[in-house]
Structure formats: structure tokens, C-alpha cells
Structure 1
Amino acid sequence: MESYAVFLRGINVGGINIKMADLKAALTDYPFSKVKTLLASGNVVLQSALSAEKVKSEFEKCLRDAFAYDAWVVVLTAAQVAGLVEACPYPADDKTTHSYVTLASDEAMLEELYQAGAELDGVDQVRLGPKAMAWLAPAGGTLDSPFSKLSSKARYKSGTTTRNLRTLIKVRDAAAAL
């Protein structure tokens, strides 16, 4: 059994509201065990004998079938999440900036986003590997930051999702405890 972290895109924003207890209940019909939801922003840790690709397809099927939600998720192993947290050069807690990690199920899309971000003025970003990049936003100005506006475009919706580094640390710790 492998421990995985599943990151849902666009849950509990924009009119797509799914209670974490309902999500956990729906997942019982799928080949997952030790399912735990974290926060209300669509973070799940679980165990499965399936590959990451199969976990992704089964999880998305569950969301479509149970909630009529055209879902996209990013699935990483617990070890991958731990590696990303370790590799992030930015602080988890800083009074002037917030550290974010954009995760991808589509590596080409992440590369495109990274290159587009490099062309923006004042964007501090770094690749953490083929499935992730980290970036900084000013405290209190995340949604207005140039990279946040870029990454929220519909073009990137199906292949990426972003989490605050503090959230990623909580997911890492929960996945390690499975």
C-alpha cells in the first residue's frame, strides 16, 4: 500500500461546495483506505494499492459520480510531498510574504506556466521538480499578485492547483502518519 496526497482543484470556491464528510463517505466505495480529509480546501490523504495515475482517475470518477463535479485532482505520493516541502526555498511563516506551491498533473502545462511567470516583472519563483513550482506573494496581496492572476486563468485549471506552503506541510505530516 502506498500513501498518497490528493489535491482537489476549485473545491469550496466558485459555487462548488462539497462537505469533507460527504467526500470521505463517497470515497468508501473506491479502492482507498485510511482516507482523511484536511481543511475545507480539498486536501485528502489516503492509502491505496493503485498507482498514482489510477488513484487520480478513480478519485475524479468519484467526484463526478457523487457530486456531479467535473473534477481535476493532482495526486502525489507521501514521499513526493515531503520532498517538495524540503526543496522549497521559501519560508513557511513570514510576515511580509506568503509561500505557495503550484502542483501539476500535467508537467507540460506546469512548464508553460513557469515560463510565463518568468516573463512577469517581480515574480519570485523556483521549480521544485517536474510536478511542482514554488512562488512568493506579498502578504495581503496574493490574489492581486501577477503570478496569482496568471495561474488562475482557465488555461491552467485542468492541470494545476496551488497550496500555501503551510498547508502542504500539514498534508505532508498527515500523509506520513497514515
Structure 2
Amino acid sequence: MRVALLLRGVNVGGVTVRSAELRALLAEAGLGEVATVLASGNAVVTATDAAAAAGAAEAALERRYGRRIQVLGIAIESLAAIVADYPHGEDDEHTPYVVFELEPGVAAELAALEPGPGEAIAAGAAGVVHWSNPRGTTLTSPFAKALERTAKDRVTTRNVRTLRKVLAAA
């Protein structure tokens, strides 16, 4: 099956993982048909199990970089359903995100938060929250601040537009 691998905290002030190096690491870890998407810690691989693929990727990354880099593995079909279910409108004034929990229960906590002005949040499929925020407020909106305060290392967030590129690479 095709599996999306979403790396948390790379190329955004943490560890820099170049696409070519990520492709090589994932192939060496035994994952097949590796494709990377953008320079933002996204890959698509062939594997028999999404969780096992994420585990193999985490182990390979830790060996290479000397620290744990969390990886979420999700079947492409599941990712496609999450993107298709994005409930908020998309326009030039807002940025569409999906927040994926890396620790059970975090998405439910986040979905219960009160959105700030111009923001919208909604629980999605198990383990995700759909979030729309006014353009330019990704780090400063009330939900963004709550996300940083309560769930920083327990989630990974992707722009819906990036997720569509991940799906296209599958």
C-alpha cells in the first residue's frame, strides 16, 4: 500500500533534512518507491503497514541525525478522505490546515478549544483537527498559541494544499 510519511519539526528551525537524503534514508530503511514532496518533511512510500513504515523511518532518521524525529504514517486512502472532508471554505484570506495528533487524545483536546476571530476549528476523522486561520496569523492566532502551549510536541500540522501535493505524489 502507499503510505504518506509526515515528519514533525524538520526544516522549520530544527533539523534540516534534504529531500535527496530523506529519499535515500527511507530506501535504506527498506521502504519502497520513495517519493519526497517539497522540502517540508513529507514523503510517500510503499509499505505493508503505515505504523511500521513510520517506525522504520523514525529509526533511520535517529541513526542519521542522532535525535528522535517523530513520523506519522498514514495510508494514502485515509489521507485522501481527511483532505476531502476539510469542512472550511478555502480562499485567499485564510490558510487551511490539518492538525494530526501524534499522541492519542490530543485532537479531542484541541477540537474543544474556542477559535479566535476569523478562525474555524472542527474535529475531523479520528486523530485530526481541521483549522482555518486568517492569512498571516499561523503563529499568532489564539488557536495557534494554544496549539503551541498545549500540544507543540504532540502534533504535526500540514497545510491542506501541501497534503494535496502529497496525494498527487502517491
Match of 1:9 in 2: 8
Residue 102 of structure 1 contacts residue 134 of structure 1 at CA under 8 Å; is this kept in 2? yes
Runs of at least 5 residues in structure 1 that lack an aligned partner in the other structure = none
Offset, 1:82 = 0.6
Q: For 1:173, give the aligned amino acid.
A: A
Give the superposition deviation at 1:105.
Answer: 3.0
Provide the residue aligned with 2:136 in structure 1.
140
Match for 2:88 among 87, 90, 106?
90
Q: Partner of 1:165 in structure 2?
A: 160
Q: In the alignment, which residue of structure 2 is the partner of 1:70?
A: 68
Alpha-carbon distance in structure 1 between the residues aligned to 2:152 and 2:66 = 17
**Structure 2 equivalent of residue 114 of structure 1:** 111
- Kept in 2, the 8 Å contact 1:85–1:168? The answer is yes
Runs of 4 or more above 4 Å deviation: none
Distance 2:68 2:152 in 1: 11
Tell me which residue corresponds to 1:30: 29
Whole-angstrom CA distance in 1 between matches of 2:22 and 2:64 = 8
Cα distance between partner residues in 2 of 1:78 and 1:15 = 26
Equivalent residues of 1:105, 1:160 under 8 A apart: yes
C-alpha contact (below 8 Å) 1:107/1:130 kept by paired residues: no
1:37–1:44 CA contact under 8 A, matched in 2: yes
Contact kept, 8 Å, 2:6 with 2:71, in 1: the verdict is: yes
- Partners of 2:72 and 2:34 in 1: CA distance: 16
**Superposition TM-score, scaled by structure 2 size:** 0.91
Shift of 1:150: 1.8
Query: What TM-score, normalized by structure 1, do the two folds share?
Result: 0.87
Deviation at 1:61, TM superposition (A): 0.6
Kindly, what percent of the aligned residue pairs are identical? Answer: 31
Give the alignment's Cα RMSD to 1 decimal: 1.6
Q: Counterparts in 2 of 1:50-61, with a 5 A limit?
A: 51-61=49-59
How far the C-alpha of 1:38 sits from its partner, in A, is 0.6
Mapped to 2, the partners of 1:54 and 1:157 lie a distance apart of 24
Is the 8 Å Cα contact of residues 110 and 131 (structure 1) preserved in structure 2?
Answer: yes
Contact 2:97 2:132 in 1 (8 A): yes
Structure 2 spans left out of the alignment, 5+ residues: none
Q: Distance in 2 between matches of 1:72 and 1:157?
A: 12
Letter in 2 for 1:132: V
Partners of 2:140 and 2:153 in 1: how far apart? Answer: 22
Instruction: Give the conservation status (yes or no) of the 8 Å contact 1:56–1:74.
Output: yes
8 Å contact from structure 1 (residues 72, 159) kept in 2: no
What code does the residue aligned with 1:41 have?
S
State how far apart, in whole Å, the 2-side matches of 1:77 and 1:159 are.
20
